[in-house]
Amino acid sequence: MAPIEIRHILISENVDPCCKKILQENGIKVTEKQNMSKDELTAEIKEYDGLVVRSATKVTADVINAASNLKIIGRAGTGVDNVNVDAATKRGIIVMNTPSGNTISAAELTCTLIMSLSRHVPQAVMSMKAGNWDRKKFMGAELYGKTLGIVGLGRIGKEVATRMQSFGMRTIGYDPITPPEVSASWGVEQMSLEDLWPQCDYITVHTPLMPSTTGLLNDASFAKCKRGVKVINCARGGIIDEAALLRALETGQCGGAGLDVFVEEPPKDRALVNHPNVISCPHLGASTKEAQARCGQDIAQQIVDMVKGKALVGAVNAQVLASTFSPESHQWIKLGESLGSVLKACTSSKEPYSGVQITTLGECLKKSTGFLSSAVLVGLLTDGAKTGPNLVNALTLAQETGISVTRNHSDGGEGLNHAACVVEISVNGSRYKAAGAVQADAPVLMELNGSVFRQPVSLSGNLLFFKASANPQLLPSVTGVLAAAGVEMESFSASAARGGDQWYCVGMSSLLSDLGSLKSVVKEAAQISV
């Protein structure tokens, strides 16, 4: 992928100083402004190409829509629930987090809360500070031999499992993504939630907050648990239904809770915080010097690597870009955009596209269908607007406008002995087709609407496409029109077929100011600059 230009970044929170240092060392200007209100951020963001936040800054749709130059939102930490990812995607803005920056710190806090719940450590400390000596009041339980249920077996869940196994705990878990054989390799037996709830002495959650995980632990699931089960949440407030947790604590169905996160932060309703069986922290999961340094370093380095075209790590809404950071992908992206532009120009109907089918041919393009499809859509949908489509938002914009996008791949060449991309679009019941490839490290057009070119068309410079029937006067007539307009012909590509109407292509020194001058010579004409 071509490098993304990032010249000026705003850091809106207290991010480790190494972040600013790394960015500046790589030629990126950095401004730090903390504790801005929403209105202040909305007014300020217009000036920047990038924004780096932690968890306090709320990057809303209003902020994103005001950011006319923004290309990247970097979250120095895991989770991006303080960023409106959908709004950013529609604007073609990459949203990036640091998926591993605070893994160890969050896992260690989780383990700390598990141990504190088992031995009532915070309560005993407060009792001592009050001048008491209540040995019997704080009778605890060993972790050895107990069962820990881990809901969410990503990086943090894995680290919690390996640490608590050292206490002799049995670790079981649930995760819809991590394969059971993978979690089994680090000692976690996977099962359904229905099977997990009744077996657990302790339950810890490590999932993102999304509709499917909101209220995952609720009245119904608490009822299925062992009486006295202890729960821990160092992930996101809302995964455990707070009202249901309070009810379970009051009845004794839940024997204790360790909470680092809340639905509202700081929580105005203090019922959970004040409950004697709850150990609470003010969202400290990532609050270690090491985690903050690591997150600051990671987000800065990830942005620098993206800007330099080296790699894309941590992008939560631009997975299609992950395979574009190689030199050979650059020309294929240009090919896709050019094929889209050619078909857009040569589509006689002005009706909207109803369907787009992109087919990649050749084994070397097996993993390229995604970004090639987005590139084609960029070419098809670009209309000259400043905030037009890019590889991040092209598919979303196509779907919003009712375009059905189909992607196919064939390892065989279907008559072609090299890698190629074939694009077909449907407009008002008619179909249009273009096929191209990358030859000698340059994109070329091989076929247009049934006309196969004898010599592939180099997709660069100013190109005139026209449809006409073959006759000896065709080229001299077209050349005459160009000459009359002060335009030089630089190249000419003709169809291999001789009968019927065919498409031709002329490379020109500049675009024609009026295609109407060709009406008496050809049946259809279009021009593009690529």
Q: Which residue ranges make up each domain of the chain?
A: 8-101+290-317, 103-280, 323-455, 461-530
pLDDT digits (tens, 9 = 90+) for 75-125: 998 878 899 999 999 999 999 999 888 999 999 999 999 999 999 999 999
**What does each C-alpha distance from 338 to 78, 404, 412, 436 come to in angstroms?**
37, 20, 24, 9
Q: Which of 206, 236, 275, 294 is catalytic?
A: 236
Q: Is residue 283 annotated as part of the catalytic site, yes or no?
A: yes
CATH code given to domain 8-101+290-317: 3.40.50.720
Q: Which are the contacts of 326, defined by CB distance < 8 A and separation ≥ 6?
A: none
Q: Are 345 and 448 in contact (CB under 8 A)?
A: no
Residue 488 has pLDDT above 60, yes or no: yes
φ, ψ (nearest 5 deg) of residue 163: -75, -45
Token readout for 302 is 């990830």
Token readout for 216 is 């995952």
**Residue of 157 and 411 predicted with greater confidence:** 157
Residues 94, 443, 469, CA angle at the centre, nearest 5°? Answer: 125
Q: Which of 283, 294, 330, 337 is catalytic?
A: 283
Helix (H, G, I), strand (E, B) or coil at 301: helix
Q: Is residue 108 annotated as part of the catalytic site, yes or no?
A: no
Q: Is residue 236 annotated as part of the catalytic site, yes or no?
A: yes
Q: Which amino acid is at 53?
A: V
Asked whether the CA dihedral 446, 448, 452, 454 is positive or negative, the reply is: negative
Residue 244 has pLDDT above 60, yes or no: yes
For the chain, the 3-state helix, strand and coil shares in percent, each to the nearest 5, are: 35, 25, 40
Helix (H, G, I), strand (E, B) or coil at 130: coil
φ, ψ (nearest 5 deg) of residue 281: -130, 155
CB atoms within 10 A of CB 160: 29
pLDDT digits (tens, 9 = 90+) for 409-459: 988 644 445 799 999 999 988 899 999 999 988 999 999 999 999 999 999
Q: Are 72 and 94 in contact (CB under 8 A)?
A: yes
**Residue of 521 and 499 predicted with greater confidence:** 521
The whole-number pLDDT of residue 217 equals: 97
In 3D space, the residue among 163, 165, 160, 268 whose CA is nearest the CA of residue 207 turns out to be 160
The whole-number pLDDT of residue 418 equals: 75
Asked whether the CA dihedral 288, 294, 297, 299 is positive or negative, the reply is: negative
Q: Which are the contacts of 245, defined by CB distance < 8 A and separation ≥ 6?
A: 217, 222, 231, 254, 257, 272
Among the residue ranges 313-327, 344-358, 496-510, the one predicted with the least confidence is: 313-327
Q: Which amino acid is at 270?
A: R
| 251-276 average pLDDT score | 97
Token readout for 127 is 């009792």
Q: Are 76 and 22 in contact (CB under 8 A)?
A: no
Residue 377 has pLDDT above 60, yes or no: yes
Is the CATH code 3.40.50.720 the one for domain 103-280?
Answer: yes
Predicted confidence band of residue 499 (pLDDT cuts 50, 70, 90): confident
Same fold flag, 8-101+290-317 and 103-280 = yes
pTM attached to this predicted model: 0.77
| 356-361 average pLDDT score | 94
Instruction: Tell me what percent of the residues of the chain surpass a pLDDT of 70.
Output: 96
Is the CATH code 3.30.70.260 the one for domain 461-530?
Answer: yes
Mention the CATH class of domain 323-455.
alpha beta
pLDDT digits (tens, 9 = 90+) for 218-243: 999 999 999 999 999 999 999 999 99
The whole-number pLDDT of residue 384 equals: 62
Q: What is the spatial distance between Cα 44 and Cα 60, in angstroms, rounded to a whole number? A: 14
Q: Which of 194, 265, 363, 490 is catalytic?
A: 265
